[in-house]
Homo-oligomer: A and B are copies of this chain.
């Protein structure tokens, strides 16, 4: 059921872990962030969240100052992403998962089971993993800080090597 159209701003920027795509709305909220080499998956997510053909991306430079903030994060200012304004669509369940993600402190990790407990659905472990994978705002909403109960990295939409890179960048020893 289409509502209204969404016109977003898109920027690209290099990082030590590969080029990233930054998508923001006119109000300066971060809407989507992903790796250039996963652009197809990103478009699929946009289709699902806003409706097929209901969104468009207009190139822009450093929209909302978000690209700059990301640059600072990758340069070493790891708190630069903590307060960034983020706005997402998604089902109530997904949003509650993503909200809980932002409370995981930099440099720490938790398990999918623990995350499920924190949102009050202790048995929705697998569903939490699924919602994690649908997170449109990687890095900033730190889905990479969730790992398996046995300490293994399990999965990551951008590829496991990047998950490892991010965690080490944040001071977690793997």
Contact = CB atoms under 8 A, between A and B. Distances in A.
B2 A91 contact: yes
Contacts of A2: 89, 91-92
Chain A interface main SS type: loop
Nearest to A4: B3
A91 B53 CA distance: 13
A29 interface: no
Interface residues of A, number: 10
A91 to B, nearest CB: 6
A48 interface: yes
A133 interface: no
Nearest to A51: B1
Contact of A91 (B1, B48, B90): B1
A142 to B, nearest CB: 23
A137 B1 CA distance: 17
Contact of A48 (B1, B89, B90): B1
A109 interface: no
11 contacts: A1-B48, A1-B49, A1-B51, A1-B89, A1-B90, A1-B91, A2-B89, A2-B91, A2-B92, A3-B3, A3-B89
